[in-house]
Amino acid sequence: MRPLFRFKQFAMTDEHCGMRIGTDGVLLGAWTHISQSTKTIADIGTGCGIIALMLAQRAPHANMTAVEIDSGACADARCNFEASPFAARIALKESCFSELKADEHFDLMVSNPPFFTETLQANDPSRATARHAGSLSFDNLAKRCNEFLSPTGRLAVILPYSQDDETIMTAAMNRLHPARHCVVSDRPATQPIRSLWEFSLTEEHCEQSHLTIRNTDGTFSDKYISLTKEFHIFL
């Protein structure tokens, strides 16, 4: 059995999950905007549940719906949710997003969607499902999120920085408007690697920012520490 990953208010396993706990999920869970009006949240492609748990910690007034297609990841997520202090507020649905019925509206939808678009997939079927864009792409999210979002709802995602032009075009085609955009670099003076995006259904000014995860010497940057200090036990 893989060891538990321990955070300040919960612990997790990703033993059966195709995509292991990583920086992308932590960034999205910590960066996504939460307000008192955020009452219902959906985590699409929850994996082992890291983003759902982080948002449940940050929004004690909100109810969570976590959606995952892979049975192994669902087993991990269920175990992690039930062992957390937020179990009563998180519902897990084992379902493909494309088949999910729009019988509920959400104030916030979040997703760390797959971004491998190459024909070559991972050897591990669960990892291939978790990371290949054929199963859950930003395009699919953008096309359907209007069915699920409340009028003032937002969609938050993390995607490769190299796909920014495509992301903006896909969002525009589906009447989604950038509200927040954070460019993420691993270290100073290096090429950005990720983009954190928040989209709304109405046009508004887009808040732009930049985050560098580590300093030149490899230590965590002040901005990263400030963003994630409520979660990491080593900060």
Asked if 108 and 41 touch (Cβ cutoff 8 Å), the reply is yes
Per-residue pLDDT 10s for the chain (235 aa) are 565 899 999 999 999 988 789 999 999 999 999 999 999 999 999 999 999 999 999 999 999 999 999 999 999 999 999 999 999 999 999 998 888 888 889 999 999 987 644 433 444 444 444 443 446 899 999 999 999 999 999 999 999 999 999 999 999 999 999 999 999 999 999 999 999 999 999 999 999 999 999 999 999 999 999 999 999 998 7
Say yes or no: domain 5-228 is CATH 3.40.50.300.
Answer: no
The terminus-to-terminus CA distance of the chain in angstroms comes to 26
Which pLDDT belongs to residue 100?
84
- CA separation for the pair 194, 47 (Å, rounded): 19
- CA separation for the pair 2, 137 (Å, rounded): 28
Which pLDDT belongs to residue 25?
96
Which pLDDT belongs to residue 3?
59
What is the DSSP track for 58-105? H-TT-EEEEEE--HHHHHHHHHHHHTSTTGGGEEEEE--GGG----S-
Hey, where are the domains in the chain? 5-228
Residue corresponding to tokens 């709304």: 200
- CA separation for the pair 52, 123 (Å, rounded): 27
